Chains A and B, each alone.
Chain A
């Protein structure tokens, strides 16, 4: 089966600009996650969707980050305006319900100058 697809793989922007990342999960996976991985750290959960509803967004900086999962399939994560500290790899993952096993995409690396 096809894996989790993410785009773009790399993005360089200046601070205060906006950026959007796209994710298409594995077919049939109801749960979708966005994680932020800063260099040298473990991934940190930003938001979790179950179908098209938000399950957990407690660590999402809602003043600048937004995410949606229309129709319960693919998802978009947006940052506006970006800050220097947003430089990171944004990982999308998906899972079947109640398995505890996440499948990750290759990530989108963001550099904010």
Chain B
């Protein structure tokens, strides 16, 4: 069965600093990988997805993630953090062609002024 592990339940960075949120996956077959963001009292919103095309995926709000098969990783980055990036971020995996998403535990991102 597929699964994801997010390293670090809380990450705090200064405004303007690099954001790096870590996600490692486990899957017996090539996966689809996703990053979702959840703002307080809201549902989840898709940031970006990897579906076996380009390994470097660009998403909304300046975020990007790189699929590294050798490291089974799909880390999320943003070069310069903005106060509005403060939220909970979830990494998720599904099998290719399947519709079921399995989510990680989430990482809460805090931005310091």
Some 24 contacts from A to B, beta carbons below 8 A apart, are A4-B43, A40-B105, A42-B90, A42-B92, A42-B105, A42-B106, A43-B103, A45-B102, A48-B99, A48-B100, A55-B99, A91-B43, A98-B97, A100-B49, A100-B51, A100-B94, A101-B49, A102-B44, A102-B46, A103-B46, A104-B36, A104-B45, A106-B43, A107-B42
Query: Digit string of B43-60 for contact with A (CB within 8 Å is 1, else 0)?
Result: 111100101000000000
CB nearest neighbor in B for A48: B100
- Say yes or no: A107 contacts B94, CB within 8 Å: no
Query: Digit string of B11-37 for contact with A (CB within 8 Å is 1, else 0)?
Result: 000000000000000000000101010
What residues on A are CB-neighbors of B45 within 8 Å?
Answer: 104
Q: How many residues of B contact A (CB 8 A)?
A: 25
Q: Is residue B101 within 8 Å, beta carbon to beta carbon, of the partner chain?
A: yes
Docked pose: A50 CA to B100 CA in angstroms:
11
CB nearest neighbor in B for A6: B43
- Say yes or no: B103 contacts A95, CB within 8 Å: no
Query: Digit string of B85-98 for contact with A (CB within 8 Å is 1, else 0)?
Result: 00000101010011
Interface centre among B36, B41, B92, B99 (most CB of A within 10 A): B99
Residues in B50-77 with C-beta less than 8 Å from chain A? 51
- Say yes or no: A41 contacts B106, CB within 8 Å: yes
B contact residues vs A (CB 8 Å cutoff): 9, 32, 34, 36, 41-46, 49, 51, 90, 92, 94, 97-106
In the complex, number of A-B residue pairs with CB atoms less than 8 Å apart = 59
Docked pose: A20 CA to B105 CA in angstroms:
26
Given contacts A42-B90, A43-B90, A44-B103, contact A101 B46 (CB under 8 A): yes
What residues on A are CB-neighbors of B102 within 8 Å?
Answer: 45
A contact residues vs B (CB 8 Å cutoff): 4, 31, 40-45, 48, 50, 55-56, 91, 93, 95, 97-98, 100-107
Docked pose: A103 CA to B36 CA in angstroms:
10
Docked pose: A97 CA to B98 CA in angstroms:
9
- Say yes or no: B44 contacts A91, CB within 8 Å: yes
What residues on B are CB-neighbors of A45 within 8 Å?
Answer: 100-102
Q: Which of A31, A48, A50, A104 contacts B44 (CB 8 A)?
A: A104
